[in-house]
Amino acid sequence: MDIFAVYSDHVIKALQEIFPNEPKLTPLLHRVVVEPPRDASHGDLSTNAAMVVAKPLGKNPREVAALLAKYFENNQDVASIEIAGPGFLNFSLTPEIWQNILKSVVLSGEDFGRSKTGRKTKVNIEYVSANPTGPMHVGHTRGAVFGDALASLMQFCDYDVRKEYYVNDAGGQIDILAKSAFLRYREALGQDIGEIPAGLYPGDYLVPVGKRLADEFGNTLVDKPQSEWIETVKTIVLDAMLDLIKADLAKLGIEHEIFFSEKTLHGKNGAIEQTLDWLKEKGFVYQGKLEPPKGKTPEDWEDREQILFRASNFGDDTDRALVKSDGSYTYFASDIAYHRDKYLRGFNHQIVVLGADHSGYIKRLQAALKAVSNGEASVDVRICQLVRLLRDGKPVKMSKRSGELVTLSDVVDEVGCDAVRFMLLFRRNDASLDFDFAKVKEQTKDNPVFYVQYAYARCCSVFRVAKNDVPDLDISQKALEEADYSLADSKEELELIRLVAQWPRIVEAAAKAHEPHRIAFYIHDLAAGFHKFWTKGKENSSLRFVNQDSLNVTLTRLALVEAVRQVLKSGLTILGVSAPKELS
RNA sequence: GGUCCCGUAGCUCAGCAGGAUAGAGCACCAGAUUCCUAAUCUGGGGGUCAGAGGUUCGAAUCCUCUCGGGAUCACCA
């Protein structure tokens, strides 16, 4: 139950009854909002309805507000109603309403806040998609966590979500990978390979792959020409790299449902060819020249005719090349085919999570999908900005040359999965982020991860204490559901209930905007509200959760704690952060 | 030069499809533990929402321009 949505419906219905046969009204209604007022002294709910509607109807906003106020005058749930400022209408609801909401929260359990807005709409979320040439780098972490949390969030709202990883297993970097692995194979056979030549991957994660090749093939490949071993080695090394990546992702609790191989798009009569043929038929492809970029022209600029996609017809800044000078397809060509494939699989709603260095790619991707789906499908590209790693307040240097490559695995091992995930989600994705090892590991209220987890552990602790202090009290789920909710009547309790009641609208707004960070901020707020109430109980023993003098009050308070616990749990689960019952 | 993102308190950031007196945390100052985990809480000072125009009942939020910071710019993936 979302009280704000309920009242939004009430207000709209009221407007329709107050202004019957008014054709100008309908198009205005979507702008009517019912939300919590910024200042709690203004009441429980606030609506802009009168101001939205007044001018187009030629009325005075405060007059409209007065009509609305009159409409709700006799509503039993409304304790008082006020017109404020330019025409805000502020409702204060009776305590009974809030108490009923609390009861409904306890009844829904951890399903409270689940939304039906997704209506099983198919959504494809592509994230990570790191090149399969080695273990994952820290740079990939933010996008990985973001995509994963977004997927959970949308599932929570009843979207039919597919989590997908696009494996770039077709480009030139895979040849290099195979050559690098072959070198390690020779090494495993006892040959002296000396220094790893520049341009090959030097990482020792390829050593086991070399061993595996040696075990499997003995020395049968050593003297063969590259053309005879390259495909075999590619298959094996790619397989190994994907295992490495999957293991890294598993450390963060991430598991994709689909690993889509780029290679499968290539080849004769493959998806790329088909897509290009289709685009040609539509007249979206032509032979032409591109202008060099303004400003500085690249040194090796080659002024040549090439096969181009009319991306500029679909909102991109310029047309884009599809075939390289050596005759093979560009990355973009296969990407068009890939996104067309997603569309053909039924995904009209696509989300792609990319790093900041790909921001220039957004328009052409959107252009491609528009073209290829006749405008039926669209893709929301979410860019995750850079993460700056800090140790002792100083940036961590990361140079590939010196081998100081910080891997995802290193970071997770050092600070833990929960802290990594929460910190990366406790910030808008499109703003850059400092990740300070010291702060992330700190176990105080300054660290939002522990602050929220501590609140959750405290909720659980209350139940442990209740079991111990009032052993005769039945605190089963059933008993909580049947508690006397009218006892939750203090100012402090009602305040906490109001906070809990916001969960459904937070979830919906976050899902709609594709912004999981809102979940993180909300549960941080809720944790603060809970800690606050807790401390009130320290100052005033009548506000303690467990009260030996009144079992009825205790039961009601436990129901409130249970409601908070459920929401914290749901929120943490969406973010992929664990909810420990106690902290040690 | 083009495109995209960012600019809100000393610092780190929120601000919910424009809404009321712009909010948290850190830091600083002053307080609260016989008591459900003080890993917490209460109070205080601190702002030209980068700047200038525009849109309207109303702008931190939308539009235009300027300034500052970052990313990116045929053929790589």
The per-residue pLDDT for range A315-349, each reduced to its tens digit, is 898 999 999 988 999 999 999 999 999 999 999 99
For residue A502, the SS3 value is coil
Say how far A533 CA is from B26 C1', in Å.
23
Residue A582 CB in 7 A reach of strand B: yes
The Cα–Cα gap between A347 and A13 comes to 36
Please check the confidence at residue A402 and state whether its pLDDT lies above 60: no
A131 closest-nt by C1' vs CA: B77
Residue A315 CB in 7 A reach of strand B: no
A296 closest-nt by C1' vs CA: B1
Percent of residues, chain A, with pLDDT higher than 90: 78
**Given this model, what pLDDT does residue A123 score?**
97
The Cα–Cα gap between A421 and A417 comes to 6
The Cα–Cα gap between A241 and A174 comes to 11
Q: Could you tell me how far CA A431 lies from the centroid of its own chain?
A: 14
**Given this model, what pLDDT does residue A405 score?**
67
A505 closest-nt by C1' vs CA: B16
CATH assignment, A3-93? 3.30.1360.70
**Given this model, what pLDDT does residue A293 score?**
82
Answer positive or negative: Cα dihedral of A332, A263, A248, A520.
positive
pLDDT band at A258 (very low <50, low <70, confident <90, very high): very high
Residue A533 CB in 7 A reach of strand B: yes
Please check the confidence at residue A211 and state whether its pLDDT lies above 60: yes
**Given this model, what pLDDT does residue A98 score?**
95
pLDDT band at A576 (very low <50, low <70, confident <90, very high): very high
**Given this model, what pLDDT does residue A403 score?**
52
DSSP H or E run through A71: helix A61-72
User: Which residues in 482-521 of chain A line strand B, with CB less than 7 A from it?
Assistant: 505-506, 509, 512-513, 515, 517-518, 521
Work out the mean pLDDT of chain A and round it to a whole number: 92
Token pair for A86: 């330019």
**Given this model, what pLDDT does residue A24 score?**
87
CB atoms inside a 10 Å sphere around CB A509: 13
**Given this model, what pLDDT does residue A398 score?**
63
pLDDT band at A95 (very low <50, low <70, confident <90, very high): very high
Shared fold status for A3-93 and A444-575: no
Please check the confidence at residue A401 and state whether its pLDDT lies above 60: no
- What positions of strand B are covered by protein, i.e. any atom < 7 Å from a CB? 1-7, 12-27, 32-33, 35-42, 56-58, 70-77
A427 closest-nt by C1' vs CA: B13
CB A579, CB A572: distance < 8 Å: yes
List helix spans (H) across A391-543: 408-415, 417-425, 437-441, 448-469, 477-481, 491-501, 503-513, 517-539
Please check the confidence at residue A495 and state whether its pLDDT lies above 60: yes
For the stretch A500-533, pLDDT in tens is: 999 999 999 999 999 999 999 999 999 999 999 9
For the stretch A15-71, pLDDT in tens is: 999 999 888 888 888 889 999 988 888 889 999 999 999 988 888 999 999 999 999
Say how far A438 CA is from B39 C1', in Å.
16
Q: What is the DSSP letter of A289?
A: E
Burial of A539 (0-12, 13-18, 19+ CB in 10 A): exposed
Please check the confidence at residue A584 and state whether its pLDDT lies above 80: no
Task: Name the protein residue, with chain letter, whose CA is nearest the C1' of B12.
Answer: A434
Residue A438 CB in 7 A reach of strand B: no
Say how far A504 CA is from B6 C1', in Å.
30
DSSP H or E run through A108: helix A95-108
Q: What is the DSSP letter of A346?
A: T
Please check the confidence at residue A86 and state whether its pLDDT lies above 90: no
CB atoms inside a 10 Å sphere around CB A148: 27
User: Which residues in 245-274 of chain A line strand B, with CB less than 7 A from it?
Assistant: 262
> Domain A444-575 in CATH: superfamily?
Isoleucyl-tRNA Synthetase; Domain 1 (1.10.730.10)
Residue A286 CB in 7 A reach of strand B: no
Residue type for position A75: N
User: Which residues in 86-115 of chain A line strand B, with CB less than 7 A from it?
Assistant: 86-88, 90
Which residues, at least 6 apart from A100, have a Cβ–Cβ distance to it below 8 Å?
A485
- At residue A394, φ and ψ (nearest 5 deg) are -110, 140
Q: Could you tell me how far CA A571 lies from the centroid of its own chain?
A: 12
Domain boundaries, chain A: 3-93, 444-575
Answer positive or negative: Cα dihedral of A488, A3, A570, A421.
negative
